[in-house]
Amino acid sequence: MIDQIFINIKSGKGGDGAISGRHEKFIPRGGPDGGDGGDGGNVYFIADENERTLLPFRYKKIFTAENGGNGAGAKKHGANGKDITIRVPIGTQIFDDNEFLLVDMIEQNQKTLVLSGGKGGNGNVKYASSTNQYPVIAQAGEEGKELEIRLDLKLLGDIGLVGAPNAGKSSIISFLTAASPKIANYPFTTLEPVLGVVEHRKKDFVLVDIPGLIEGAHQGVGLGHDFLRHIERTKMILYVIDGSDPNPVEVFNNIKHEITMFNQKILEKPYIVLINKTDLEEVSLLKEEIKDTFKKQEKNIYFVSAISGEGLSKVLDEAVTTLFSPEVTKGGAFVPLETAKKSPVIDKKLKENITVLKPTPKQRGPKIVVENDLYMVFYPSVERIAQRIDYEDWTARMQLYKHMKKTGVVRALEEAGIKKGDTVQMGGIEWEWD
């Protein structure tokens, strides 16, 4: 089962604003009419119950939204880039490259904006004024954002079957549901979690067969924590113990130890202990002895047979009662990923019905970094104008200077100590200050 994978996502670049003048007969310089660039496409994720695994992402790992179109003359706005929507199974967690949890996709049709597209640049018509009736400056489109993310799929089952290898969990889920797991008399028959729907007393719930746990599982031994983490999603646990084991109590305690070392809060979930394989004579004869041993620490013990179905109906009675109790239905049994760090905010809200990652704080005013005689200006909206002008055009350079003065860049440079002959760097462009 592919339940963890890395992919790259990228939102679209905004289109460049146009530098254009109106050309009409007998009006050689009719004024600016350069339109704005279109916004780049956004990257969305949506939870889809029809998606079962992360397998499709093994073959496609790069997802890119469409760039916005450039503006044009006659005040024509560039087309907005097409969004891209990535469908993932319900239960998928999205982490950024710093291991921060961005979002937990736990509901059908839950839609989340992860990366917004770059804003389109202003056309030169936006810079017209009473003192500058024909601007020859415009704004480049904002670059799209790029992010490497990790997708983790954690199954959303109601009840988890947990036990040592070959305890009979696969046989139980096969008996109770339409699931068809691989069954054999050797350990690690189940190599991936198996889901099945149980219908009992006019209630239905999802049962998950978790692969067998062995000593050291919390450290990744055997099938390890690749599957331990699926238990975190369940609301209730059925511990399945092989009744033919020489010491079933010790097996039970070892399982609880591994779970404790992985996430202690899991043990707070409601649970039932199933002593399986009562169809074997040796187990049937030892029922009372096993019961007495367990009663010293556990009261909720049921003897069952996955072959004959003995005792399973009573187990389902109690499971349904517990699962649909107010305490559990309110979500009190859900244990989130404790190790997940909350992500810093990276994006902005577009629509009320879409979950979004909050925006990063917007920069207020220019930032100047000085290295020797190099003055680096960081102010995105002005940088994008610097990227679009013709530095051979004296008029364009003057209009850029006036805009830098208007937006506080000139003042910031002067306060930083800039002198004639020093070098200014802005938007990837360098020129001598005069």
- Answer yes or no: do 242 and 378 share one domain: no
**pLDDT score of 183:** 40
- Answer yes or no: do 146 and 230 share one domain: no
- Answer yes or no: do 148 and 25 share one domain: yes
What CATH code is carried by the domain that includes residue 253?
3.40.50.300
- Answer yes or no: do 23 and 121 share one domain: yes
Question: Which residue is it, tokens 């020129």?
Answer: 431
Handedness of CA 311, 317, 319, 320 (dihedral sign): positive
Rounded average pLDDT over 163-175: 83
User: pLDDT per residue over 27-43, tens digit each?
Assistant: 555 688 899 999 999 99
- Answer yes or no: do 276 and 323 share one domain: yes
- Answer yes or no: do 235 and 351 share one domain: no
CA separation, residue 244 to residues 70, 168, 279, 285 (Å): 73, 11, 10, 11
The 3-state DSSP class for residue 259 equals: helix
CB-based contacts of 297, cutoff 8 Å, min separation 6? 249
Give how many domains the chain has, as a whole number: 3
**Which of 335, 208, 325 shows the shortest CA–CA distance to 260?**
335
Is-contact 33 22, C-beta < 8 A?
Answer: yes
- Answer yes or no: do 15 and 116 share one domain: yes
- Answer yes or no: do 129 and 260 share one domain: no
- Answer yes or no: do 78 and 187 share one domain: no
- Retrieve residue 210's tokens: 């978790």
**pLDDT score of 215:** 46
User: pLDDT per residue over 266-320, tens digit each?
Assistant: 888 899 999 999 999 888 888 888 888 887 667 778 999 988 989 999 999 999 9
What CATH code is carried by the domain that includes residue 428?
3.30.300.350
> Quick one: 379 exposed, middle or buried, by C-beta within 10 A (0-12, 13-18, 19+)?
buried
- Does this model's pTM top 0.75? My answer is no
Give the span between the Cα atoms of 133 and 154, in whole angstroms.
60
Q: Domain range for residue 244?
A: 159-329
- Answer yes or no: do 412 and 268 share one domain: no
**pLDDT score of 351:** 40
- Answer yes or no: do 291 and 341 share one domain: no
Read off the DSSP letter of residue 126. Answer: G
Rounded average pLDDT over 146-168: 83
Side-chain half-sphere of 319: how many Cα atoms within 13 Å? 31
At 381, the amino acid letter reads: S
**Which of 171, 199, 123, 155 shows the shortest CA–CA distance to 310?**
171
- Answer yes or no: do 173 and 243 share one domain: yes
Read off the DSSP letter of residue 27. Answer: B
